[in-house]
A and B are shown apart, each in its own frame.
Chain A
Amino acid sequence: MATLREEFTKGFWRTIPPFRLVLGLCPTLAVTTSGINGLGMGLATTFVLVFSNLFVSLLRRFIPTQVRIASFIVIIASFVVIVELVMQAYFYPLFKILGIFIPLIVVNCIILGRAEAFASKNGAVMSLADGLGIGLGFTLSLFVLGLIRELLGAGTLLEIPVMWASFAPFAFMLKPPGAFVALGILLAFMNLISQIQARKG
């Protein structure tokens, strides 16, 4: 039986999405054109993940197995609509940028995956920890990926120019293929670190 702490921290390295759980690649590749966009998308996903995990876990004894996927989707979709409305009302510029990818959180495999694989089998507190951990891990990944692409693609970090004057922005990094390249390189580095750790241990 894993402890609460383990369930929470596993999302930061051991099963960090989208690197370890190779799920949720669609928003990962599409919206990480800058650090802020990645952060916004990650936090929106975290909100949905935490609450869908909580409700799925609370209702798990009442939901018949045959209709569980339908029930999960209704719960997830409700929270996605809440995020969409709140973002539109208070963070309009971010809403404009993330656009269609906000409603698409409904079909983000991470969220349905956690509901099915974790929240439907564990208690509410454990599910909250799992949702928060995985969600923040996802946010961290998107933020870092966004920062790297922003730095190389536009020469800025969080919209502040940081590169030298003659730096020519590498616009390719802001395009979808650039996202694949950045993701691949990050994944390679993570595997390298894991290997070194494994050799030491």
Chain B
Amino acid sequence: MRDILKMIVVLTLIGAASGLTLSAIHRVTAAPIEYQTIKFVKEPAVKKVLSGYDNDPILDRKKIEVGTDPKGNPVTLTVFPAKKAGETFAVAVEGTGKGYHGEIGVMVGISTEGTILDIGITSHSETPGIGSRVTGVEYTDQYKGLPAKKGVTVDAISGATYSSKGVVAAVNEAVGTVATFREEIF
């Protein structure tokens, strides 16, 4: 009986000590982990669509509530502001659209004057060599300088109509978000 008690006590103590330590470490590392994850996943696209900033858009990211999901939980969207001398002059916002195979994620850089600076594809699973051509600069450069208003259109890539439409839908979603939540974003 004494042995069993001892086993229980020792294992409980070790487990509790381990749990306490890990929760403390988790608290310390949670913020850097979030930063790193966003940095390595989104930064290449953010860098492509924004330029001439002197801040760290990833560090200055803002979360805005864009609505609620069917369960009533808030849905947040992360925006990446580009600042010069402390003044926000553009933001990068991600939108998604339905391509030929699943969702296409597109990062859109939008200036405060309301023009699209550039777009960058963050994620897609389009057919390699066909639909994937939407990630090329020949296609994405078409968006440069267009007014950031709903109803953005560009020439589709022949043979990749669905993928092109997906990108257009994603860009329009991002543009729409910025238009709706202008106050909070800038």
Contact = CB atoms under 8 A, between A and B. Distances in A.
Contact of B7 (A64, A78, A93): A64
Interface in B1-49: 3, 6-7, 10-11, 14-15, 18, 21-22, 25-26, 29, 32-33, 36-37, 39-40
Interface string A49-69: 000000000010011101100
Nearest to B31: A89
Interface string A82-102: 100110111011001000000
A92 B37 contact: yes
A75 B36 contact: no
B36 A92 contact: yes
A82 B36 contact: no
Contacts, number: 54
A66 B36 contact: no
B26 A85 contact: yes
Q: Classify the interface of chain B: helix, strand, loop or mixed.
A: helix
Contacts of B15: 74
Interface residues of B, number: 19
Contacts of B18: 74-75, 77-78
A93 B39 CA distance: 11
Contacts of A67: 7, 10-11
Contacts of A93: 40
A89 B36 contact: yes
Contacts of B26: 85
B3 A92 contact: no
Given A75-B18, A78-B21, A89 B10 contact: no
Given A88-B36, A89-B36, A82 B22 contact: yes
A186 interface: no
A150 to B, nearest CB: 22
A182 interface: no
The 9 closest A-B pairs by CB, nearest first: A89-B32, A78-B18, A92-B36, A89-B29, A85-B29, A89-B33, A67-B7, A88-B33, A64-B7
Interface of A: 59, 62-64, 66-67, 70-71, 74-75, 77-78, 81-82, 85-86, 88-90, 92-93, 96
18 contacts: A59-B14, A62-B10, A63-B10, A66-B7, A67-B7, A71-B10, A71-B11, A74-B11, A74-B18, A77-B18, A78-B18, A82-B21, A88-B29, A88-B33, A89-B33, A90-B36, A92-B36, A96-B40
